Amino acid sequence: MPHPQSPVPETGPEAVPAPNLDFESTTPYEDYIRASVLSQLQHPRSDDPGEMVFIVTTQVMELWFTVLVHEWETAARALREDALPVAMAALKRSVHELRSLNASWEPIAHLTPAQFNGYRSALGEASGFQSATYRRLEFLLGDKSASMLVPYRNVPRVHDELEKALHAPSLYDEVLRWLARRGHAVPAAVLERDVAERHTGDPGVEDVWQRVYAGDQDSEECRLGEALTEVAEQVWRWRNDHLVATRRAMGSKVGTGGSGGVAWLEKRAAKNVFPELWTARSRV
């Protein structure tokens, strides 16, 4: 006899097995995904119904940051081990993940100032630039600054993780080291620089990419360059979507957390990651 809580199995030549609905405790889905934990992490501080959307959207973004950090750390480690296929697979996955991250803006991208003001005070001094996971993401891209560790000085675990990331080679550092091992003339000053400093464009690195792009279009170097360019483009789109959403919601007012708001985001959006990949194109 079937269990009283189980569906009655179908019979006949086209019968489809019924799913198991009887478990001793929680479902395997819950054990694996922890959905009940995720659905209890939203605690609005205002009566505005739009705040719930804002919280969930931001939490989704944080989850995508976590995925991207995982992908780019995987790619960096693979390059360090000369495992280019593993690195390429991680980079290609991250492009799709970046597109999903960028799409996360959609629920809040069209807020009017009045709609945002309905719950803005609930944020207090909270601001996206305080996100520790996003900071790790930017460090991996080579956009480093020791000053960005200051917000976490009273949170030792987070501060230690970010300090470690600050002093570790970025994804782009590992790319340049891989190119050097392949015989490309990456300047010694670039390879030996303090990796805790922000990477800025270097003419010698631009020369390397110019030669790569002027050569065999199916070379491993060219395919890696294009994978990195896809990543960089999606990062640029993320920054610009953030800028536009903020401009629509609050104009040029001072941002939460005391940042310059739109002015701060405009400065960030004007910067390209992996800069020589862009400047070299003018010389091909």
What residues does each domain of the chain span?
Answer: 53-283
Q: What is the pLDDT of residue 243?
A: 92
User: pTM, whole model, 2 decimals?
Assistant: 0.91
The answer to the question of whether 120 is labelled as a binding residue is yes
Query: Structurally, what CATH architecture does the domain formed by 53-283 represent?
Result: Up-down Bundle (1.20)
H-assigned helices in the chain = 28-33, 35-38, 50-80, 84-103, 113-120, 132-140, 156-166, 171-181, 188-191, 203-214, 220-250, 262-269, 275-279
135 in Cβ contact with 148 (< 8 Å): yes
pLDDT given at position 270:
85
| pLDDT score at 261 | 76
Write out the two tokens for 198. 């922000």
pLDDT for the residue numbered 260: 67
Question: Contact 228/175 with Cβ under 8 angstroms?
Answer: yes
Q: Tell me whether residue 229 is annotated as binding.
A: no
| Cα atoms found within 13 Å of the Cα of residue 283, Cβ hemisphere only | 16
C-alpha separations of 224 from 44, 89, 142, 176, 277 in Å: 44, 10, 17, 11, 11
Which residues of the chain are modeled with pLDDT < 50?
Answer: 1-2
| Pair of tokens at residue 188 | 């010694």
The CA distance from 45 to 192, in Å, is 49
Whether 67 and 202 have beta carbons less than 8 Å apart is answered as: no
Q: What is the pLDDT of residue 267?
A: 86
What are the pLDDT digits (tens) for 182-225? Answer: 999 999 999 999 999 999 899 999 999 999 999 999 999 999 99
Which of 143, 270, 271 has the alpha carbon at shortest distance from 199?
143
Q: Using CA atoms, how far apart are residues 73 and 140, in angstroms rounded to an integer?
A: 8
In a 3-state reduction of DSSP, which class is residue 208? Answer: helix
